[in-house]
Amino acid sequence: MDAIALRDVTKRFGDVHALRGIDMTVETGEVFGFLGPNGAGKSTTIDLLLHYARPSSGSITVLGRDVAAEPVAVRRRVGVLPEDFAPFETMTGRQHLAYAIEAMDADDDPSTLLARVGLDDDGDRVAADYSTGMTQRLALAMALVGEPDLLVLDEPSTGLDPHGVRRMREIVRAERDRGATVFFSSHILGQVEAVADRVAILRSGTLVAVDTIDGLREAVGADTELRVELAAEPAAIAPAIESVDGVAAVTVSDGALRIDCNADDKLRVLDEIRAAGGTIRDFSSSEASLEDLFVTYTEGSA
């Protein structure tokens, strides 16, 4: 059974097409990163998943249930960290958790949850006085109540300091290891790259890619830049290297060869340079970052 399945889901707001036919499946037990620039439709998709909003067309099942037909049954097994929420104004952090525990019919200990998100010392303060990051941690703790089968986290690192971001990442991994599926959205690539098993990239309401990080790299093509310093003039060697399998482009700059190639072909390219008579003084390689991929997907013609 898939944790999440969207079938040809569209969403219109008046004349604006926020989502233009999304087909997407999140498998049970994976960490799924939902990526896209601001305004691409990530939050809209999550709103539909949680039945905060209804799709204009298409069907959505979460944990095998139709969210429109059984929203409460779905929410009973899903932990939600929403975006643009506010804490209950009169309640302390601990009271929030007590409420969530009762609503989820769970038996968690509020103190354990507070400690897990790093709010141990602030549990008895009124949550309305929390900072953004603390509010975010509190909502994460609420999402963890009752060991949900699926965690839906909308921009989970909003307002978190680097410490908090790392803790969030650790919690996501721990939840996956427990067997939970984690679906989270982000416009910050590093976070997706660090924890996601698979990612989807959304652009203007359309899915432009669904793949593993490595798969995406391959899909975009040349993903490594090799910089090779030669003893002799590099321009003489360049034409011979261009024809090597796996090489996308060769340029000469600062007296060195710059070769865009597949990561697996790096060593073979070096061998070819030597075979062509080049003497290698030094070399370095850099992998294309997801950032570059992201830009390629969301702005380029991919």
Look-up of token digits 């900072």: 131
Whichever of 54 and 281 has its CB closer to other proteins, that residue is 54
Distance CA 108, CA 105 (A): 9
- Asked if 90 interacts with other proteins (CB under 8 A), we say yes
Contact flag: residue 177 with other proteins (CB under 8 A):
no
DSSP letters, 168-185, are: HHHHHHHHHHHT-EEEEE
Q: Out of 85, 163, 287, 299, name the contact with other proteins by CB under 8 A.
A: 85
Question: Which of the ranges 33-41, 139-147, 211-219, 239-247 carries the binding residues for other proteins, by CB under 8 A?
Answer: 139-147
Tokens coding 191: 């976070």
Q: Is 249 in the site for other proteins (CB under 8 A)?
A: no
> Is residue 232 helix, strand or coil?
coil
Contact (CB, 8 A) for 252 and 238: yes
Segment interacting with other proteins, rule: CB under 8 A, options 1-9, 24-32, 100-108, 165-173: 100-108
| Distance from C-alpha of 140 to C-alpha of 292, rounded to nearest angstrom | 30
Task: Give the Cα-Cα-Cα angle 196, 198, 201 (nearest 5 degrees).
Answer: 100
Nearer to other proteins by Cβ, of 90 and 253: the residue is 90
Query: Residue 256 in 3-state DSSP?
Result: strand
Q: Could you say whether residue 124 binds other proteins (CB under 8 A)?
A: no
- What single letter denotes the amino acid at residue 262? N
Provide the minimum distance between the beta carbon of 80 and other proteins in the complex, in angstroms, as a whole number. Answer: 3
Choose the stretch contacting other proteins; rule: CB under 8 A; options: 28-36, 98-106, 212-220, 247-255.
98-106
Q: How far is the CB of 152 from other proteins (least distance, A)?
A: 8
Among 8, 64, 69, 103, binds other proteins (CB under 8 A): 103
Residue 5 found at the interface with other proteins (CB under 8 A): no
Q: Which residue in the set 21, 37, 99, 208 belongs to the binding site for other proteins (CB under 8 A)?
A: 99
Is residue 7 involved in binding other proteins (CB under 8 A)? no
Residue 47 or 265: which CB sits closer to other proteins? Answer: 47
User: What residues between 19 and 78 interact with other proteins by CB under 8 A?
Assistant: 47, 50-54, 71-73, 75-76
- 49 three-state secondary structure: helix
3-state secondary structure of 122: helix
Piece of the chain touching other proteins by CB under 8 A; list 89-97, 223-231, 246-254, 276-284: 89-97
Q: Hey, what amino acid is at 279?
A: T
Rank residues 65 and 227 by Cβ distance to other proteins and give the closer one: 65
The count of residues interacting with other proteins (CB under 8 A) is: 32
Residues that bind other proteins (CB under 8 A): 47, 50-54, 71-73, 75-76, 80-91, 99-100, 102-105, 139, 142-143
